[in-house]
Each structure stands twice: as C-alpha cells, then as structure tokens.
Structure 1
C-alpha cells in the first residue's frame, strides 16, 4: 500500500505504515484537511491486516508547530464551520484513542500544541535530541486538547504538567525522556536508526503485540473518549471568545514580522 497526498505521505513496509507530515515550509502545521486525511489513514490502517505499526513522523526541521492558525484565520468563522472544525479534530483524536495496533511517533524536531498533547495517547515516542515539547495554549487563549488534561498529569506529575499546560513551559527531549513522555532520544543525525530498530518487529509475534495492546488500552479507552469530548466542548467555547481572535491576530502579526 502506498498513499501520497500533498501534505501527507504514507508507505507500508514490513508491517510498518510510515506516515510523514510533509509541509515543512509551514513547520508541518496541521490544517483541517490534514486532520481529515490522518483520520482516514488511521481508520483504514486499523482494518488492514498487513499493518502492525502506524508510525508518525515529519519532513523538515519541525515535527509540527501544531494547528495552522493562518489557515484558521482564512476560514469564514461561522458557527457551522467552527462546529465542523471541532468535529474533525474530535474524530482525529478519537481515531488515535481507538487505534488497535501500535502507535509510534518519531519526533524529528519541535512538537508544539496538539503535536505534543497527542503524544500522551501514543504507545511509544522516540525523539531527536533537537526536539522540544511545548503547549502554549494560554498565550493563544485556547485550552489543552489531545487528552492532555488527563494524560499529562499522569505522565509528568501535576506540577510539571501544570507548568506545561498552564504556563507554556518548553520541555527538551532529555527532560521528556526523564518524565516518561519519550522512550528514547536519538542524536539528530542518527535518527534514521529508529527505523532499523522498528524493522526488527518482523521477528516478534504480532498476535502477542496486538493482544497486549488491547489489554493496555482497554482500561482507559472510555475515559479518554470522555476526556476528548469535554476538551473539544471547552475548545468550542474558547473559539466563541473575542479574546481568541485578538490573540490569533497578534500571534500572526508577530510571526509576519520575524
């Protein structure tokens, strides 16, 4: 199986579906069409007997700068478009929660906003030593998503999760490994070694892996679905606030001056 989209590349080899965010000029910022494409890939992959691992990575210097705020501001922000956008985001995160195979992220660079928060519901995360993790929700007037209001306090502890989710603390790759968000940090120039490591999966029992994944995910799945629904509901409220639009405009203005 091979799939190519303008901003998302997907190939399947040796049981590994490698999905690559391919919008480096925009730091792999995620747009509504990209969320839809990723959701389709996740749902199709979940039913494909040839797939054992869904591995997400990216081209360029960034893993992802999070939501494409420029694209959001170009939308006609009607109640219907915002409702559809929120539903698209909810469907994407639900697809991650429900995914029955191994979900692995290979974080090749900075992961901002939702690119960080969703990592708490991945099974394994590997990172480049050039990666960092940041959730600047309060500076944009937004709210934490990706189930991070549940996963981050449990992974990082209440205090460090609070530093990230409330105050936008920037966590480097080594610290992320110390706290358990990342399994292993690779030298950036040797990051390709992770694919050699994952290719050893052909020597392992896929039935054993899938059965264990089912057990690991079983206990929290319903909780995560509820958390996602509540976070999306709160996100909708935030987008109805003039504070958000003003902060988006200020953010884009600062960005354009750089």
Structure 2
C-alpha cells in the first residue's frame, strides 16, 4: 500500500477496497482521483473475481467532495464530462457497492452514497450538500435519489437550503443502513461485508438488475440534466468575469 497515492486500492479475497487518501485536504477529490475511481469501478464491474466494491476514506473524513482548489484541466476531456462518467460508473455498477463513511461526506461524496447498495457510517459522520451556497446545482443524481430516499422536504432542506444531516438522522430516514461508534466502525462492518461477499453473486447481480431496471434510464438522464445545468452556471460565471 502506497500512502503517497491519493487513491489506495487493496483486495480482501473477492472484495475490492478503495480509499480516498488525501487526509490533509479532507479527502477532497481532484480530477485524477475521479478518473482513477471511474476506471476501478468499470474494471471491477467486469472482473469475475470481484464480488463487492467498498469505498471509504483515510483519516477523519470520508470525503469533503470536489477539490475546488485543484486544476480541472485534463487530457482526458472537460471536467464535467469526467464528473459525469464518474457518476455513471456508480449508476451502472452491477455488483454490491458499499460505502464505509468514516467521517463527514460533503458534496459529490454525499450524493453518490445514494447510488450505493449498503452504507455504513460512523456516529460522527454528517452529510452536507452546500451546492446552492456555492451558487451551483446538485449533482450525483441527488435531485432524483434524495426525494425518493428521504422525502421531498428533507431533500429540499439538504439540496436547496444547505442543511447538514447527522448520522442519526440519516439512519432514521433510511439514507444509511447502519451506524456505529467511531472506534467500532471498521471492526463491525467487515463481518457484514464478508457475509455479503459469500452470497451467490449471480443471484445478487440479477436481483440488483431487476430492482434497478426501471431506474437506470432515469438516473442516467438525471445525471445528464444536472451536468447540463452545471455547465450553464459555469459558462455564466466565466462570462461575468470577462
């Protein structure tokens, strides 16, 4: 394991573990991290030796979301196209996708949790989507998934009015599956993850596909619409500075 890497990949049997590893910046995600995770998810989707994908963070944060201080330029394409493909990789991932939320999850780190199958969280985690505070619009398909998961009023409070959701509230409204004390999180979640990894994978994959067969098109379209609106806002902001 190379601690200088901003993304750490490890394997535990058939379980692929990916850690956001930029603790000095609260695991904020830069363009290279987006590209790396997108590739890992897409590769794992087609790897018969992987049954479960786990996402977590290093240090006190799960992730503070998009690294606003990092360059957005990439030879791989425009930033919003890269972000769209990152979110699409969550939408299309056919196997069990797990998040171990070891601390606060902000922005895209919070919105993509709604695309995961199991979410384990520490009691000291919170979920924060300050898009309108930044003059942006929500992404990660949250304009669809949040109302569906937690109801219109809670979704509006988070996505429109920047309300933070505590881990306890997230558990109560079904945004997360399990909550643990910080010192117990890593030890207790792995019993459940190991159990899930032993289930017949064909059954898991088929069942997940059946459950989401009517959602994938909606999620993909929502992702496109959110990116289009972000693009309009970014163009307007750029023009206003000229």
TM-score norm. by structure 2 comes to 0.93
Aligned to 1:199: 194
CA gap of 1:160–1:244, structure 2 versus 1, over 3 A, is farther
> What is the rounded CA distance, in whole Å, between the counterparts of 2:2 and 2:146 in structure 1?
33
User: Structure 1, residues 31-84: CA drift from partner, whole Å, max 9, x if none?
Assistant: 011000000000110010011111100101000001001114xx57xxx98x71
Q: CA shift at 1:203, angstroms?
A: 3.9
2:137 to 140, 143, 159: 143
Instruction: Provide structure 1 residue ranges, at least 5 long, that are not aligned to the other structure.
Output: 247-258
| Secondary structure of residue in 1 paired with 2:158 | helix
> What is the rounded CA distance, in whole Å, between the counterparts of 1:5 and 1:104 in structure 2?
24
Aligned pairs for 1:97-246 (under 5 A) are 97-192=91-186, 193-242=188-237
**Stretches (4+) displaced over 4 A:** 2-5, 243-246
Instruction: Provide structure 2 residue ranges, at least 5 long, that are not aligned to the other structure.
Output: none
Q: CA shift at 1:22, angstroms?
A: 0.6
> What is the rounded CA distance, in whole Å, between the counterparts of 2:200 and 2:155 in structure 1?
35
| Secondary structure of residue in 1 paired with 2:203 | helix
Aligned to 2:38: 39
CA gap of 1:4–1:125, structure 2 versus 1, over 3 A, is same
> When the two structures are aligned, how many residues end up with a matched partner?
240
What is the CA RMSD across the aligned residues, in angstroms? 2.2
TM-score norm. by structure 1 comes to 0.87
